[in-house]
Structure 1
Amino acid sequence: MPQIHIPSKIDELPKHPNEGFEKFVNAVGEGRLKPGTVLTQAQLCEFLGVSLTPLREAIVLLEEYGLIEIKQRTGITILNPELSFIRENYQFRVMIEIEALNAFAHSVSKDWLEQVRARHVELIAALKKDKKDMVAAEAFVALDQFVHTSIVSALGNRSVLATHNRLQQNIRMARVIHRSASFTESLVTAAEEHLEIIDRIEAEDTEGASACLRRHFESSIYRTIITG
């Protein structure tokens, strides 16, 4: 059986085309840049390790997404992602992935399904055994994005895939900011929902897989906002 490379670290995931945005998302996601922090452009450049040009490009996106607030004579304030930001990113992802799922279900190999299922089972067991296993937690975050990216890749549309990757980055950042003590339990639930989708695809039940995917997104919105 040919081995499929399944990422186990966030560093292996696709990067945002704008360096400043990518580094901002990582800094917030890692807790190094906290909501409420106020910085000048020069300070933010130094903090992120980027030049002014990519930072200015990133600022346009960050302000548009409601992730920063800019005030003259005050500086740049880091904001919490609002409910609308989280919901809109998920809604856009649903539109893309439901469209892509049919193509994916008809093209995915049995090897892919078997290996991805086995990785889910392995990480579920690890997270149930030790809720503080951050290596397994990071591995599932990487696996989660890998699965959803694989679905969208079936469309063969690079522009859609690039947009989808940005949506996933935005949501990953929001999840970290809203993370609670039940974080690992949420990952286990998400992993089990993935297995339901895989079950339906293996059964050649595309309609059932689509229904499972919709429920997965509805639950994911709730987990991000309520349980973290």
Structure 2
Amino acid sequence: MSRPRPSLQGIAKMPARDRAYHELKFRILEGRLPPGTTLLETEVASLLSLSRTPVREALIRLEEDGLVDVRPRHGITVKALSVEEIEQIYQVFSTLEVKAAQLTARRGITTADHDRLDGILTQMERASKRGDIEAWSELDDEFHSELVGLCGNPRLQAMLRQLWDLQYHARRAITKLRPLPIVSDREHRAILAAIAAGNEEEATRLHQQHRDRADEQLVSLLRQKTTFPTKA
């Protein structure tokens, strides 16, 4: 899926290097190691109660993911993305998501797939009515993830996962600032209808329109949030 929620599920059974990677990634994405945090390799090893070798391997992977900067003999720094960098990430992310919607419409979805997506949208609409933006946001992630999961292109899915990780913390920072997503609810319904009908052109047009509007709103909210970390 393109928008997996950070989780520590199953981490105890993982090899040390994978445990180190997933636990550090979880702490970074959930803000427990906020942008700008600097730690020595030994401090990270102590934090995770692991030896330095698996920690070193995990840090290399996290640097490849774009989540940290690693400096030999100086440890790591959790990267702080500027609003401009977040905007650039979304320009790529949204282009790939729109393509995923097109591919999903082309492949077609089963009745079970449709019913599952329809159920998520119903829950989102209920969350909107009661003003529960946090719950709506999690369901929004689930809806988009399910659509991408149906596109049949594992390379596209993998690229979306990495891009999602990069902007996850920033997106969470503005969740409570969002207006009620009534427009998004209508747009989601229209997108699902186009996909269910197998209309590639309409699914692409509607999803592009949705992403353009939603991305513009997100970037605008990020610019308004003065506490969001920016680069010097």
Same fold (TM over 0.5): yes
- In structure 1, the residue matched to 2:115 is 114
Is 1:196 aligned to 2:190, yes or no? yes
- In structure 1, the residue matched to 2:132 is 131
Is 1:182 aligned to 2:177, yes or no? yes
- In structure 2, the residue matched to 1:165 is 161
RMSD: 3.7
Deviation at 1:210, TM superposition (A): 0.5
SS at match of 1:222: helix
User: CA–CA distance in 1 between the matches of 2:211 and 2:155?
Assistant: 22
User: CA–CA distance in 1 between the matches of 2:23 and 2:198?
Assistant: 41
Is 1:37 aligned to 2:32, yes or no? no
User: CA–CA distance in 1 between the matches of 2:21 and 2:180?
Assistant: 29
Tell me which moved more, 166-175 or 33-42. 166-175
User: CA–CA distance in 2 between the matches of 1:201 and 1:168?
Assistant: 23
User: CA–CA distance in 1 between the matches of 2:40 and 2:138?
Assistant: 32
Runs of 4+ in 1 over 6 A off after TM superposition: none
SS at match of 2:168: helix
The alignment covers a number of residue pairs equal to 213
Q: Which amino acid aligns with 1:226?
A: S
SS at match of 2:132: coil
Tell me which moved more, 216-225 or 108-117. 216-225
SS at match of 1:164: helix
Deviation at 1:129, TM superposition (A): 0.3
Maintained 8 Å contact 2:100/2:148: no
- In structure 2, the residue matched to 1:227 is 221
Q: Which amino acid aligns with 1:103?
A: L
Maintained 8 Å contact 1:68/1:77: yes
Deviation digits for residues 27-67 of structure 1 (CA, Å, limit 9, x no counterpart): 13322112232211122233356553454344345445654
User: CA–CA distance in 1 between the matches of 2:19 and 2:159?
Assistant: 16
- In structure 2, the residue matched to 1:46 is 46
User: CA–CA distance in 2 between the matches of 1:125 and 1:167?
Assistant: 29
TM-score (norm 2): 0.69
Q: Which amino acid aligns with 1:31?
A: G
* 1:50-69 pair list within 5 angstroms: 51-63=51-63, 67-69=67-69
Calculate percent identity across the aligned residue pairs: 21
Gaps of 5+ in 1: 1-6
Gaps of 5+ in 2: 12-16, 223-232
TM-score (norm 1): 0.70
Deviation digits for residues 95-122 of structure 1 (CA, Å, limit 9, x no counterpart): 4344443431132123322331232122
- In structure 1, the residue matched to 2:229 is none
User: CA–CA distance in 1 between the matches of 2:203 and 2:190?
Assistant: 8
